[in-house]
Amino acid sequence: MPSPKNIVILISGSGSNMAAIVQAAQQQDWQRESGARVAAVISNRPGAAGLQLAQSLGVATQVLDHRGFETREDFDAALMQEIDRHQPALVVLAGFMRILTPGLVHHYAGRMVNIHPSLLPAFTGLNTHQRAIDAGCVEAGCTVHQVTAELDHGPILAQAAVPVLPGDTADTLAARVLVQEHRLYPQAVCDWLKGQP
Ligand code: GRF
């Protein structure tokens, strides 16, 4: 029996992308298909709603509160220790609202992915939906990419586009994009895992 391809998901908030991935893994039986399983969900915020959601889906959760650490490097070192206990094949950032240190990015090079709510390389950073509206974009969307040292850069693995409609607010556009995120992210993770030995 080959060793399982453990997935560790990092969250900070509602965890809807995390839940979409966990549910896809369960419903599509990734364990049987590619030996993959979501081993743990880790949040840097104790109050993240995604923690309860993960527990309700039967996934082990851990909290590592960044406020207990003096420096970003100290927190990331502790985070790496927690993640590595699961010997992950893939680390999935799903609304993990932290700037990562170069050391952490390097440690997971080639096995860490993120979803960003824009059609990268447009609109890296925050407030992507309002910025897309303000710029007059007719399309917006989301991107799954590998994580590299530069924020919201890195090789693109998958994208989905949605129209920007007349009268859209950041909230209505975000909701339309989020539907696509929940479809795109599990698919991209599944494809990535199938490509691994
Ligand atoms: C998503 O829009 C994702 O693209 C961005 O943060 C949001 C997280 O939402 N990185 P959720 O926590 O997955 O519900």
Q: Which domains does the chain have, with CATH numbers?
A: 5-194 (3.40.50.170)
Model pLDDT for residues 100-128, shown as the tens digit of each residue: 999 999 999 999 999 999 999 999 999 99
State residue 3's pLDDT score.
64
What residue owns the CA closest to ligand 1's atom 14? 16
Strands 139-146 vs 156-163: parallel, antiparallel or unpaired = antiparallel
Q: How confident is the model at residue 185 (pLDDT cuts 50, 70, 90)?
A: very high
Q: What is the DSSP letter of 142?
A: E
What is the helix (H) or strand (E) element at residue 104, kind and residue range? Answer: helix 102-107
Please give the Cα distance from 20 to 12 (Å, whole number). Answer: 15
On average, the pLDDT of the chain sits at 96
What residue owns the CA closest to ligand 1's atom 3? 95
State residue 79's pLDDT score.
98
Q: What pTM was estimated for this model as a whole?
A: 0.97
State residue 1's pLDDT score.
43
State residue 4's pLDDT score.
86
Residue 28 Cβ inside 6 Å of ligand 1? The answer reads: no
List 107, 116, 129, 182, catalytic entry:
116
Question: What count of residues does the chain have?
Answer: 197
25 Cα–ligand 1 center, Å: 18
Mean predicted confidence (pLDDT) in 144-159:
96
State residue 86's pLDDT score.
97
Is 66 known to be catalytic? no
94 Cα–ligand 1 center, Å: 6
Model pLDDT for residues 126-143, shown as the tens digit of each residue: 999 999 999 999 999 999
Residue 51 Cβ inside 6 Å of ligand 1? The answer reads: no
